[in-house]
Amino acid sequence: MLSVPEDHPRYESLLLRERLVRGFEMGLVVEAGLIAHGRGEAFDYLLGEETVEWADRATLAAVHCMYRSENPVLSVNGNVAAVVPDLVGELSRRGIKVEVNLFHRSEERVKKIISFLREHGVIDVLGEDTDMLINDLSHDRAYVSEEGIYSADTVLVPLEDGDRVQALREMGKTVISIDLNPLSRTSKTADISIVDNVVRVLKNFNKYWMRVEEDGSFGIDVYKSFDNEENLRKMEEIMRGGFVGDN
């Protein structure tokens, strides 16, 4: 049972914190994941904890990009599993493969995350049998499955580290990041960088996916004219300019 009162003015943010703490107690999230979340919260505060237009455009472009891919894969770490398991489930039912990929990898933790995701409706979770290695990566994120990230043409990487984004791009993949920090190496290296909270992004992603399925021309202009550098610059400007919402 979550203990955040629903009438609290920052209910959503506190709910997320609580999910992470629960995830930590269950062994899905590591200590470093709690710290990374705190950094994300600080950037989200600067956005007024809402999706701004430029982040929305990046999400729409990302949907078109994934929709057109032959083997799109969503990479999931402990934080993502803990905070948005149901939304990951929705994506998996749209034909996007889900692979658990961890910086701090242990077989036990991978198994726990996979079974937690399955309980939340994620189908076919990859990442337990990692038969391939991403070259030039010295940490555990290098272990990937052949069927998933290794052979993917597009990889969606929420809350990632910059090294692996670089390595995936060098393998010829299109990389879409979700990271609230527009200055991170991840955001700077990805092909499409969505600077927004992963919770809001995956909600919007599912919504836009349905729209594009109904009508392929929906938002196509945004995708075709999308300029990642410009988008990141706008996001940074918004954050430097102060609050855009009521806090």
User: Which residues are at the interface with ligand ATP (CB under 6 A)?
Assistant: 36-37, 39-40, 43, 159, 161-162, 178-181, 184-186, 197-198
Closest approach, Cβ 178 to ligand ATP, in A, equals 5
Written as six digits, the tokens of 162 are: 């910059």
Q: Helices then strands (H, E): number in the chain?
A: 11, 8
For residues 26 and 220, which CB has a smaller minimum distance to ligand ATP in the complex?
Answer: 26
Q: 178 - beta bridge partners?
A: 158, 194
For residues 144 and 201, which CB has a smaller minimum distance to ligand ATP in the complex?
Answer: 201
Is residue 153 within 8 A of residue 174, CB to CB? The reply is yes
Closest approach, Cβ 191 to ligand ATP, in A, equals 14
Q: What is the DSSP string of 58-80?
A: HHHHHHHHHHT-SSEEEEE-HHH
For residues 19 and 97, which CB has a smaller minimum distance to ligand ATP in the complex?
Answer: 19
Closest approach, Cβ 208 to ligand ATP, in A, equals 18
For residues 168 and 224, which CB has a smaller minimum distance to ligand ATP in the complex?
Answer: 168
Which residue number has the CB closest to ligand ATP?
40
Dihedral pair phi/psi, residue 133, rounded to 5°: -125, 140
What DSSP character marks residue 217?
A: T
Q: 237 - beta bridge partners?
A: none
For residues 73 and 178, which CB has a smaller minimum distance to ligand ATP in the complex?
Answer: 178
Dihedral pair phi/psi, residue 158, rounded to 5°: -80, 145
For residues 151 and 228, which CB has a smaller minimum distance to ligand ATP in the complex?
Answer: 228
Closest approach, Cβ 197 to ligand ATP, in A, equals 4
Q: Burial code of 123-134, b = ≥16 C-beta within 10 A, e = fewer?
A: eebbbeebeeeb
What DSSP character marks residue 220?
A: H
Closest approach, Cβ 16 to ligand ATP, in A, equals 7
Closest approach, Cβ 147 to ligand ATP, in A, equals 25
Q: Give the number of other Cβ atoms within 10 Å of residue 140's Cβ.
A: 14
Closest approach, Cβ 216 to ligand ATP, in A, equals 28
